[in-house]
DNA sequence: ACCTTAGCGGAGGTATGGTTCCGTTTGTCA
DNA sequence: TGACAAACGGAACCATACCTCCGCTAAGGT
């Protein structure tokens, strides 16, 4: 791969994150190209279609979340609380990244979701271990499952995506974490 | 207003609820017209544009929720629990109504939201009274606000809107209601 | 320095879907 | 029943946005 090609690919991903972060899923490919300082043709050389570009962004985000979970697994102290802290950090990282927000909150693009299947599976596996440990130690509600995380994070994402609720997502997250703790 | 005009308006709204319920916000005006058994022109005679039609659906839904809250205010027993029951009923009513789901979950159409401003204000007012009462009686968490309801119901709506989570919204709702109860 | 070819740019094709327009139909009232 | 206007239908219009195509540029090896 030629040096300029690699550089452009980087630029495109970065620009996409910025543009989708501002306009959501209905940002335009032309805008991404402009923001990256390249032509649309170049964008399509690197990503066959819009979903593939979005998929790349979302996948990167899930990889980051996976790393957070790994850290949580190694931290000492209660694993359940560590998991909840990871979720909070994950939300923080997601704040300016509407591509991921839309992937999580209602009406997802199936193609995008498929691209991330592998990464998501890894994330789920790690979550499951932490949940099990947290339940055993009594810090998480006994009936908690990985599906709960998916739904609740989706909910927080939907709050983030709504401009009229700006900032409110931290409160939403807090309520959600409370719901997951054992009584 | 001529008799057939009134009848057609009814049909259009009903068809719209069905069509948007199946395909979400990106259902097409032509489909609504077909489902109502009228031409597109007729749809546009009754509603100046797509947002107006969606707004009508969403507004009707908020009116229904307002009624639920009125019932809750009159029921005997704890007002906080009555509020939570209303939310559950409201969610139930919203299940097959993706138009409303999308209005609540991230990336709303501003025009739609504006059309409902009046109705929503009424809903908020009633919620506020019930919350106050529920906090006083110790059944709701002391820091609960109307904004919490908006965010959490939005979250549930986003779970409903995601076909891959079908049915999961009841669990999401349950967690959410737990989060709102006093500890 | 030169040649090969991967990579680039961006005008334009195409599909989708909201909205308009106007000739035709049909309810309603005298 | 006849006339008038209100209402209808749906083909056509137009804006939007994804994606393709192809002539050009310049990277990198020899």
CB-CB contact of A90 with A65 (8 Å): yes
What is the reported pLDDT for A179? 97
CA separation, residue A81 to residues A57, A71, A137, A138 (Å) = 28, 13, 10, 10
Under DSSP, is residue A140 helix (H, G, I), strand (E, B) or coil?
strand
What is the reported pLDDT for B93? 93
CA distance B14 to chain A (A): 22
Question: H or E stretch including B179?
Answer: helix B169-180
Name, in order, each residue with C-beta under 8 angstroms of A96's C-beta and a sequence gap of 6 or more: A21
* Cα–Cα distance for residue pair B50/B32, rounded to 1 Å: 10
Name, in order, each residue with C-beta under 8 angstroms of B139's C-beta and a sequence gap of 6 or more: B78, B79, B80, B81, B181, B182
What is the reported pLDDT for A1? 85
**Which residues in chain A have their CB less than 8 angstroms from residue B105's CB?**
105-106, 158, 161-162
What is the DSSP annotation of B136-158?
Answer: HTTSB-TT--HHHHHHHHHHHHH
Using a pLDDT cut of 90, give the percent of chain A over it.
89
* Cα–Cα distance for residue pair B57/B17, rounded to 1 Å: 7
Under DSSP, is residue B181 helix (H, G, I), strand (E, B) or coil?
strand
What is the reported pLDDT for A107? 81
Instruction: Give me the mean pLDDT over the A146-165 stretch.
Output: 95
What is the reported pLDDT for A54? 97
**Which residues in chain A have their CB less than 8 angstroms from residue B159's CB?**
106, 151, 154-155
Q: What is the largest CA-CA distance in chain A?
A: 57
Q: Among residues A135, A120, A119, A137, which one has the least CA distance to residue A180? A: A135
Under DSSP, is residue A27 helix (H, G, I), strand (E, B) or coil?
coil
Q: Which is more confidently placed, B15 or A103?
A: B15
Query: How many CB pairs below 8 A link A and B?
Result: 115
Residue of chain B whose Cα is closest to the Cα of A148: B172
Please, is B7 exposed, middle or buried when counting C-beta atoms within 10 Å of its C-beta (0-12, 13-18, 19+)? exposed
| pTM of model > 0.85 | yes
CB-CB contact of A80 with A140 (8 Å): yes
Contact B175 A152 (CB under 8 A): yes
Q: What is the largest CA-CA distance in chain B?
A: 57
Using a pLDDT cut of 70, give the percent of chain A over it.
100
Using a pLDDT cut of 90, give the percent of chain B over it.
89
* Residue the block writes with tokens 């990871």: A86
Among B99, B116, B155, B182, the strongest candidate for a mutation testing the A interface, having the largest count of A CBs within 10 A, is: B155
Tens of pLDDT along B52-72? 999 999 999 999 999 999 999
Task: Return the DSSP state at A164.
Answer: G
**Which residues in chain B have their CB less than 8 angstroms from residue A161's CB?**
105-107
Under DSSP, is residue A181 helix (H, G, I), strand (E, B) or coil?
strand
* Cα–Cα distance for residue pair A182/B39, rounded to 1 Å: 56
Nucleotides of C under 7 A from a protein CB: 6-12, 17-22, 26-28
Name the residue among B154, B176, B180 with its Cβ closest to that of A158: B154
- The interface residues of chain B toward chain A in range 98-157, judged by CB-CB distance below 8 A, are 101-102, 105-108, 113, 147-148, 150-152, 154-157
- Whether the pLDDT of residue B97 is over 90: the answer is no
User: A9-18, A21-30, A119-128: which range is least confident on average?
Assistant: A21-30
- Whether the pLDDT of residue B31 is over 90: the answer is yes
Instruction: Answer for A45: CB within 7 Å of strand C.
Output: yes
* Cα–Cα distance for residue pair B4/B110, rounded to 1 Å: 32
- Please provide residue A109's backbone torsions phi and psi, each rounded to the nearest 5 degrees: -85, 115
How long is the CA B62 to C1' C22 vector, in angstroms? Answer: 38
- Please provide residue A136's backbone torsions phi and psi, each rounded to the nearest 5 degrees: -60, -40
CA B39 to the chain's CA centroid = 28
The token duo for B5 is 């005009």
């Amino acid at each position: 791969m030629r040096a300029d090609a690699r550089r452009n690919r980087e630029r495109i991903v970065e620009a996409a994150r910025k543009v989708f972060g501002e306009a959501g899923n209905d940002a335009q490919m032309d805008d991404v190209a402009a923001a990256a300082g390249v032509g649309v043709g170049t964008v399509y050389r690197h990503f066959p279609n819009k979903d593939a570009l979005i998929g790349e962004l979302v996948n990167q985000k899930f990889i980051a979340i996976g790393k957070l979970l790994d850290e949580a697994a190694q931290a000492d102290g209660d694993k359940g609380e560590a998991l909840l802290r990871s979720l909070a950090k994950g939300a923080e990282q997601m704040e300016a990244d509407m591509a991921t927000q839309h992937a999580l909150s209602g009406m997802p693009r199936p193609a995008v979701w498929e691209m991330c299947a592998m990464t998501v599976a890894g994330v789920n596996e790690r979550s499951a271990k932490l949940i099990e440990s947290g339940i055993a130690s009594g810090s998480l509600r006994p009936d908690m499952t990985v599906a709960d995380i998916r739904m609740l994070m989706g909910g927080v994402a939907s709050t983030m995506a709504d401009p009229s609720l700006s900032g409110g997502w931290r409160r939403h997250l807090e309520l959600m974490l409370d719901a997951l703790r054992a009584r």
